[in-house]
Amino acid sequence: MKRHIISILIENEAGALSRVAGLFSARGYNIETLTVAPTEDASMSRMTLVTSGSDEIVEQITKQLNKLIDVVKLVDLSESPHIERELMMVKVRAMGEMREEITRLCDIFRGNILDVTPTSFVIEVTGEKSKLDAFLRGIADDHIIEVVRSGTTGIPRGERGLHA
């Protein structure tokens, strides 16, 4: 079971997202995260999907995705050098000494504090999934009020790109 980041260029049509989501549920594939947003070309959206499975399953996933008429192109980012990022916002309970400690932790992870109240912070951290996981491990569970994560997105390194 290996983690794969599949980056998909998809027609910007109503229902295109549900075709991808439906494919995964119908065939029992697992989706860890899924993000969709417009691209430099208004007729297409870029979808980044993180899944995991054996080589055979992931091969089937990419073939089945390619079969969808709305899918223009896709690439398995994890097969070559790439950059991946995820954005996370965490609301933490922060009072007394904890305020200092959390600020320090935030600096270590190059996070930003976006909102401050007498009892709480909202912190923004960006990075690979593992970095965000590590940040959360650094804060005691009972201090965490809410965690919001964008899901992973990514781009290949170098000049290679995904175009129609």
Binding site for other proteins (CB under 8 A): 11, 14-15, 18-19, 22, 26, 56, 59-60, 63-64, 66-67, 69-73, 164
Task: Give the residue from 82, 84, 142, 139 showing the smallest Cα distance to 109.
Answer: 139
Of 23 and 89, nearer to other proteins (C-beta) is 23
Quote the least distance from Cβ 29 to other proteins, whole Å.
Answer: 13
Distance CA 2, CA 34 (A): 17
The three-point CA angle 94-100-98 to 5° equals 40
Of 66 and 119, nearer to other proteins (C-beta) is 66
Distance CA 144, CA 86 (A): 19
Question: Contact 5/121 with Cβ under 8 angstroms?
Answer: no
Of 63 and 137, nearer to other proteins (C-beta) is 63
Of 144 and 164, nearer to other proteins (C-beta) is 164
Give the distance from CA 15 to its chain's centroid. Answer: 21
Quote the least distance from Cβ 154 to other proteins, whole Å.
Answer: 21
* Secondary structure class of 43 (helix, strand, coil): coil
Quote the least distance from Cβ 156 to other proteins, whole Å.
Answer: 20
Quote the least distance from Cβ 10 to other proteins, whole Å.
Answer: 8
